[in-house]
């Protein structure tokens, strides 16, 4: 598969780009398409790296608008978990296809997911053509715990996802410290080390979680994970809004990644703002996530990155906190290498990129990066390319009508429509 982009700009300069076998093969002003190439006339649009959603639950697009305006634990226990108990593979497949459609339309090329029926998620990801690191949620405490032990549960999830391949990679997904036992977390830490696969876990999302951890284990959540061997360079910690200075220092030492989800945290009123300055001071890799569409309710990362930046400025009383260039590095995954974003648009990199309509009112004047962060939404994305394959062109994703119709059918089946 080969592709040539003409009449584009890269970092403000007129350029052409040729893609071969999913990789950027050549960039320059005078590249000519070869026979058989798919050719995109960018008509002056800017080529930029694709966006990376570091934490979501993709199939929860089916729950969008369902149980809004409730506190986190009531929302989970009274609304979400009862419906999730009735999910079938096809529900998750079409919910994930709907999420992939929204992400492709708004510029996301890769996401990190934790959700039930991971084989259905993997199938949806590959059919949509996007990239994802997938984990089935692991519980061995509480109402969601099954009869199997942690090894059996985890092995089944990994088998469903399958071996790493072009678009899909597996991870271990312990839900949280309050839904996974000490023994379960120790086993996950050992399995991650033995197989060199990442761990994706919610951590310190609410103050109650911290209070309970100290009462039950005598230490705060990050210290507890470290005691069990979970904290390390393969670990993605979602949320982290209630981490304190000592925990952040420990996370920095261990090399774990923290993914902040500001819009979902604001909507669920978790009571605190993610400590960006302290996280940065301790050298911690930082990613951005939307969380699921049931608690955001959008998967548009360009909307979320603006809120991330503004919230940090407001919290610190300092408009220089999290400048646009740093925010752009976070939303493209460049500030967190584990998440798998592209460093730059350059030869030898995976062909995961966007064509952005730089002549729109939002982007037509002023600093381009600042406009992407503070003015734009996913509506400025014209073309999304993943692994050298054009997934959206001219703002159109093929098959979108079918995906929306099938997702509606699954909502009706679950009593959500």
The DSSP 8-state label assigned to residue 380 in this structure reads G
Cis, peptide link before residue 271, omega less than 30° from 0: no
Q: Which residue has the higher pLDDT, 86 or 71?
A: 86
User: What's the pLDDT at 144?
Assistant: 66
Residue 206 reports pLDDT greater than 80: yes
The DSSP 8-state label assigned to residue 306 in this structure reads H
Question: What's the Cα-to-Cα distance from 2 to each of 16, 143, 284, 319, rounded to whole Å?
Answer: 14, 50, 38, 44
pTM tops 0.95 = yes
Q: What percent of the chain has pLDDT over 70?
A: 99
Q: Assign 143 a pLDDT band (cuts: 50, 70, 90).
A: low
- The label of the residue with tokens 């690191």 reads 133
Q: Which of 58-62, 68-72, 112-116, 184-188 has the lowest mean pLDDT?
A: 68-72
Residue 81 burial (CB count, 10 A) = 13
pLDDT tens, residue by residue, 246-289 = 999 999 999 999 999 999 999 999 999 999 999 999 999 999 99
pLDDT tens, residue by residue, 3-51 = 999 999 999 999 999 999 999 999 999 999 999 999 999 999 999 999 9
- HSE-CB at 349 with a 13 A cutoff on CA atoms is 18
User: What's the pLDDT at 338?
Assistant: 98
Residues in the chain: 417
Please state, rounded to an integer, the average pLDDT across all residues of the chain: 96
User: What's the pLDDT at 72?
Assistant: 80
Residue 11 burial (CB count, 10 A) = 11
Residue 145 reports pLDDT greater than 80: no
Structure token pair of residue 231 = 């904290």
User: What's the pLDDT at 71?
Assistant: 84
Residue 225 reports pLDDT greater than 80: yes
The answer to whether 62 and 92 are in contact (CB under 8 A) is no
Q: Assign 76 a pLDDT band (cuts: 50, 70, 90).
A: confident
pLDDT tens, residue by residue, 367-411 = 999 999 999 999 999 999 999 999 999 999 999 999 999 999 999
Q: Assign 178 a pLDDT band (cuts: 50, 70, 90).
A: very high
Give me the domains of the chain, ranges plus CATH numbers.
Answer: 2-49+347-400 (2.30.40.10), 51-339 (3.20.20.140)
């Amino acid at each position: 598969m080969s592709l040539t982009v003409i009449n584009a700009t890269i970092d403000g300069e007129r350029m052409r780009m040729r893609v071969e076998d999913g990789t950027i093969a050549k960039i320059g002003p005078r590249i000519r398409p070869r026979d058989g190439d798919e050719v995109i006339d960018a008509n002056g649009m800017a080529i930029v790296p694709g966006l990376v959603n570091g934490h979501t639950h993709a199939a929860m697009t089916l729950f969008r608008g369902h149980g809004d305006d409730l506190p986190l634990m009531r929302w989970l226990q009274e609304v979400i978990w009862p419906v999730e108990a009735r999910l079938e593979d096809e529900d998750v497949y079409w919910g994930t296809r709907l999420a992939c459609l929204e992400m492709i339309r708004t510029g996301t090329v890769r996401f990190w997911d934790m959700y039930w029926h991971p084989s259905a998620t993997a199938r949806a990801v590959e059919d949509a053509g996007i990239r994802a690191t997938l984990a089935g949620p692991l519980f061995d405490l509480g109402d969601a715990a099954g009869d199997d032990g942690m090894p059996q549960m985890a092995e089944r999830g990994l088998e469903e996802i399958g071996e790493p391949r072009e678009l899909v990679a597996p991870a271990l997904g312990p839900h949280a410290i309050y839904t996974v036992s000490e023994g379960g977390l120790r086993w996950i830490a050992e399995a991650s080390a033995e197989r060199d696969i990442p761990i994706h876990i919610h951590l310190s999302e609410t103050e109650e979680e911290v209070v309970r951890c100290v009462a039950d284990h005598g230490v705060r959540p990050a210290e507890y994970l470290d005691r069990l061997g979970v904290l390390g360079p393969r670990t993605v910690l979602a949320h982290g809004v209630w981490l304190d200075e000592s925990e952040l220092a420990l996370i920095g030492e261990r090399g774990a990644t923290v993914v902040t989800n500001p819009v979902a945290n604001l909507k669920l009123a978790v009571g605190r703002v993610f400590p960006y300055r302290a996280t940065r001071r301790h050298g911690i890799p930082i990613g951005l996530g939307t969380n699921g569409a049931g608690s955001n309710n959008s998967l548009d990362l360009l909307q979320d990155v603006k809120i991330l930046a503004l919230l940090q400025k407001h919290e610190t009383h300092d408009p220089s906190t999290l400048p646009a260039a740093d925010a752009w590095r976070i939303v493209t995954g460049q500030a967190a290498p584990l998440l798998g974003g592209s460093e730059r648009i350059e030869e030898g990199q995976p062909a995961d990129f966007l064509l952005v309509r730089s002549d729109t009112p939002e982007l037509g004047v002023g600093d381009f990066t600042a406009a992407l962060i503070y003015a734009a939404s996913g509506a400025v994305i014209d073309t999304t390319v993943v692994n050298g394959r054009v997934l959206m062109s001219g703002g159109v994703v093929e098959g979108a009508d079918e995906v929306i119709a099938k997702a509606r059918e699954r909502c009706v089946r679950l009593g959500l429509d």
